[in-house]
Amino acid sequence: MTVTALITAEEGFPALERLVASAREELLMSFRIIDPRTRLRARELTELGLETWADLIAWVTRRGVRLRLLIADFDPLFARDLHRNAWLCASGFADVVQGDAQILCAPHGQRAGGLWQMMLRGPIRRALTELQSEDPVKLTPVERLFLKAGPVLRPVTLHQKFAIVDGRACIIGGLDVNERRYDTHAHDRRADQTWHDVSVHVADDDFASSLAGHFADCWNAAIDCDAASLAERALKMQTSTRAQGRTDLRVLRTFSAPCSGAARLSPNTRITDHETAMIRLFDEAERFIYFETQFLRHAPLTEALVRAAQRVPDLQLVALLPAAADRVLFDGDTSWDARQAHGLQISQLEQLQAAFGRRMALLTPAQPRPADAEGPAIDNAAPIYLHSKVTLVDDTSAMIGSANMNGRSMRWDIEASALIRDPDFTSGLLDRFGRKWIGRDGTDLRQAATWQTQAETDAGEAPDARKGYVLPFPMAAGNRFSQRLTFLPKEMF
């Protein structure tokens, strides 16, 4: 077993490119976003004359590698840009592949029931009117079908991001593939182009085979819900046998299936490995918990953390989150659902602060430079967008993958992660985060005060005089922005 953490796309993109290029027989890929126009970063591949991901996939399939590519599709009315981009990307790959290559643009099969369509009839009518006013040539086949037969609302999606080569090695994590996701450790780009993410390269036959079994389940489910096949005709995969994970290295899954009913919005949740494993990790914690997550909105996880704080009087917690969702930070979204989602998060954070007190460091990443005049600011600094999903516990266990700490990732969307019980890997990764965020490593990182003190010290300095990349999380601003409603299922946020 060889496990290597990949921090930011500066590490993740070339590693993923090399993994894909190494395929000899089979390449399985499932991504929320993977754009064929994305530039390659691995020098040895660009020296071969390959410039983009389209070039790489074409080159791999020309060599006779069997390709199965699963690209997530989205609701065409309320996630129109994501939906059109999914079709654009899937079509871009389909145009260049050769041989045994199957590509699915895959929505989740869950449909909102008639009651929800009635409640949302105003927004639906406006969205359909906008579609009708557009050039039909620009519409996807799904959008054109909606205009003829009426809309179908799809509230669930495939959120996972991984690639598996020849049943022997894989990369899995939170990082999708397009130019927006590329960033370096310096995070010196414009704030809305920063992107901190983490993936892990796993060279292990058992883990890769287990993840391939999960991929087959997702592939077959996509075919069952009539996912569009954009290359060769898509055929179901064999799922009768699969490798089982070990206690020290396991695939974690969130898997849900369609569930019908007039009042139904949520899918039928069948596998909740992420929630179960995370609660177990918190129940086991004796010294410290460190996590990075894009969202923290799921009450059962908060409750488990509160229990852990009560059980172990000196348990330390270090939590890193973005100051707000990217659509709020960079697009200025002030809609009711954005406020509701942030309200859920602020409620969870308040409970953790009450339970841990000074044993908790609550932080958000920021660049050591002043914010742009028209851009968002955190203590006068330009933010860094944090998209990673990492949990570390007691120098013994690490969880890295696609699942955020929200109800959507725990129970609705399709997710995949790695649970790694390896002290050397876990402690080494914490040291890397310490050096990245506050310029320190060693045993002091296991104390929340080490992180909080550095963040508060930096907050008192001018942005370009700061030593680290984290500041105290802006709770006051979060409370002002938040809105708390009760009639919507919390798992949708």
State the pLDDT at residue 488.
74
CATH code of 224's domain: 3.30.870.10
For residue 242, tell me if it sits in a domain: no
Which regions of the chain are under pLDDT 50?
none
Identify whether 240 is part of a domain. Answer: no
236 occurs within a structural domain: no
The predicted pLDDT at position 243 comes to: 65
**What is the pLDDT, as a whole number, of residue 212?**
96
At 416 the pLDDT is 98
Whether residue 311 sits in one domain with residue 430: yes
**Per-residue pLDDT tens over the stretch 395-448:** 999 999 999 999 999 999 999 999 999 999 999 999 999 999 999 888 899 999
Model pLDDT, residue 241: 65
Same domain assignment for residues 334 and 444 = yes
The answer to whether 51 and 57 have CB atoms below 8 angstroms apart is no
Q: Can you give the residue range of the structural domain that contains 397?
A: 249-492
Neighbours of 27 (CB within 10 A): 23
The pLDDT of residue 374 is: 85
Domain boundary among 229, 263, 297: 229
In a domain, 234, yes or no: no
Determine the pLDDT at residue 451.
98
Q: How many residues does the chain have?
A: 493
The mean of the pLDDT values for the chain is 94
Residue 270: its H or E element: strand 268-272
Q: Is the domain of 154 the same as that of 115? A: yes
pLDDT of residue 413: 97
**224 in the same domain as 253:** no
Cα distances from 252 to residues 19, 177, 206, 211, in angstroms, run 21, 22, 13, 9
Same-domain pairing of 179 and 282: no
pLDDT at residue number 242 = 67
CA 45 to chain centre: 27
- In 40-98, DSSP assigns E strands to 66-72
| Cα separation, 389 vs 459, whole angstroms | 25
Question: What does the pLDDT read at residue 486?
Answer: 65
- Report the predicted TM-score, pTM, of the whole model to 2 decimal places: 0.96
